[in-house]
C-alpha cells in the first residue's frame, strides 16, 4: 500500500514539475537564454518525483528492503 502512495505522489510531483516548465516556456520564451538559474526549480519536482516512483516500485517488488 505504501508503494502505491509513493508512486502516485511521485507521478503527481513529476507532472507538476513539467507543468511549471511548460508554463514558464509559454510565458517567457526567451527565459532559457537569459536566466537559466531560475529554471532549475522545476527540475527538483521532476527528479524528486522520479525518485519517489523508483522507491515505490522497488518497495512493491522487494517489500523486505
- Enumerate the domain spans of the chain: 2-61
Give the CA distances from residue 33 to residues 11, 23, 47, in Å, rounded to whole numbers and listed in that order.
Answer: 29, 16, 22
Task: Output the pLDDT for position 27.
Answer: 74
Tens-place pLDDT, residues 37-57 = 555 677 888 889 999 999 999
Residue 10: pLDDT over 90 = yes
| Residue that is written with C-alpha cell 528492503 in the block | 65
Q: Is the pTM of this model over 0.85?
A: no
Tens-place pLDDT, residues 18-41 = 888 777 777 776 665 555 555 567
Report CA torsion sign: 34, 36, 38, 42. Answer: positive
CA distance 54 to 33: 32
CA distance 27 to 13: 21
Amino acid at each position: 500500500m505504501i508503494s502505491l502512495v509513493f508512486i502516485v505522489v511521485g507521478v503527481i510531483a513529476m507532472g507538476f514539475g513539467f507543468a511549471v516548465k511548460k508554463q514558464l516556456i509559454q510565458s517567457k520564451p526567451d527565459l532559457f537564454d537569459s536566466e537559466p538559474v531560475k529554471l532549475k526549480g522545476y527540475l527538483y519536482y521532476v527528479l524528486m518525483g522520479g525518485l519517489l516512483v523508483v522507491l515505490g516500485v522497488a518497495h512493491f517488488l522487494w517489500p523486505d528492503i
